[in-house]
Amino acid sequence: MAERRVLASLESVVKRTQRNADGQELSIYLGQMSSDVAKQLTFVPVFESGNKPLLTERLGPPDGEGYQRPGSRIRMNQFAKYLREHSLAVVPPVVVSGRDQWEFEPSVENGDYGVLHCFGEAAIIDGQHRVGGFVSLYESDEDMRSIELTMVPNLSLEEEKNLFMDINDNQKNVVAGLRAVLAENDESSVGRALLDRDDSPFCGRIAIALRKPQHLFKMNTITKNVARTFAHGAFDDARLDDKVEMMIDYCTRIADAFPDEWADAERKDRKEAMEFKLLEATGVIAFSHAAGDLLAPAYEPITRTVNWDQVEDNLRRIVPTLNLRKDGQFEGLTGEVGGGKIHRRIQQVLALARYPGGDDEDEILEED
């Protein structure tokens, strides 16, 4: 049999052995992997192929037995941005399965220390977006970092799946700030895109931690309402990348439909009093609820496209009947209550567009 070629050797690896009450043992290996070789030494076992993945994705032997979603370049690039801005960032270890491709060679002096020889790819059980972020940073900036990792050998595919589920079921216990940084859910990833993307109408306007004068909202307000925006069943199978593009386009069209209200952002920059409710939490709540009436009916899940002409037509119907001044028809109504009232008004106007001539049409269309 031909001798296997070593792709890389990871030095200074520590072996840790755990034992339970039944006498069973499990050895794990703690070490570091350089980001310049991470792409060659790992793969992600996915249940479907992604779109231009940054990391290697495999459906798994023998019949597509992968168990993870395809990776998101948005999440990976967001994490790369975080790494770029935090050179001393502390990042939780990535968990990989050796898949009989990584072998430990103990030191002669002490068998609990040694070298991991990598003959092929290990499967990433937890941390594909962290690895992708490190790889993205290396490929864009040639900034090589060390990736902390835990390697578990001799796992069956079923044991890998169970470990993956155990780790992800417990993600809720991770500190909230760290979860946001690592973008563990779609809402936080969309929120970061709204903050960071140059084509977002909220670029630079959302506070992650400390709120500064230019900020309109806190990130937790945005992520909560991103979840509402895509709560409609039409979006059940929408991908993260699609949600990002839809959210930016949706907000942009609202901004275009309400130019006077959107000018409140300039007033805030000049430290003047804002005149409208649109760029308060009340407005965000209203239009996130209204996405079920404006965005969802225009979304085609099969082609993953939005009929933006339809969205814009409905926004044009809404504008003349919606007085969003603070002293207007919704005066004194803020937050969830105010957002709910504005949303119901939007629903009434759209209902009249579909079924004109009702008894209460004059009352609904009456100027406040």
- pLDDT per residue over 244-294, tens digit each? 999 999 999 999 999 999 999 999 888 888 999 999 999 999 999 999 999
Taking 80 as the threshold, does the pLDDT of residue 139 lie above it? yes
Give the start-end residues of each E strand in 59-135. 94-97, 102-106, 113-118, 122-126
Same domain, 75 and 142: yes
Q: Which of 146, 176, 206 is the last residue of a domain?
A: 176
| 216, 202 contact by CB (below 8 A) | yes
Q: Which of 141, 176, 211 is the last residue of a domain?
A: 176
Domains held by the chain: number? 2
Q: Which of 176, 199, 229 is the last residue of a domain?
A: 176
Same domain, 153 and 256: no
Selection from 352, 353, 354, 243 nearest residue 299 by Cα: 243
d(C-alpha 113, C-alpha 337), whole Å: 61
pTM of structure = 0.57
282 inside domain: yes
Name residue 116's amino acid.
Answer: L
Strands 113-118 and 8-19: antiparallel
- What pLDDT score was predicted for residue 72? 86
Same domain, 70 and 154: yes
144 inside domain: yes
Same domain, 55 and 109: yes
1 inside domain: no
Judged by average pLDDT, the poorest of 106-110, 182-186, 344-348 is: 182-186
Same domain, 269 and 321: yes
Same domain, 26 and 71: yes
103 inside domain: yes
| 224, 284 contact by CB (below 8 A) | no
The range of the structural domain enclosing residue 134 comes to 8-176
User: What is the DSSP annotation of 120-174?
Assistant: SPEEEEE-HHHHHHHHHHHHHH----EEEEEEE-S--HHHHHHHHHHHHHTGGGS
Same domain, 31 and 167: yes
- 160: tokens are 């890998």
Q: Percent of the chain at pLDDT above 90?
A: 68
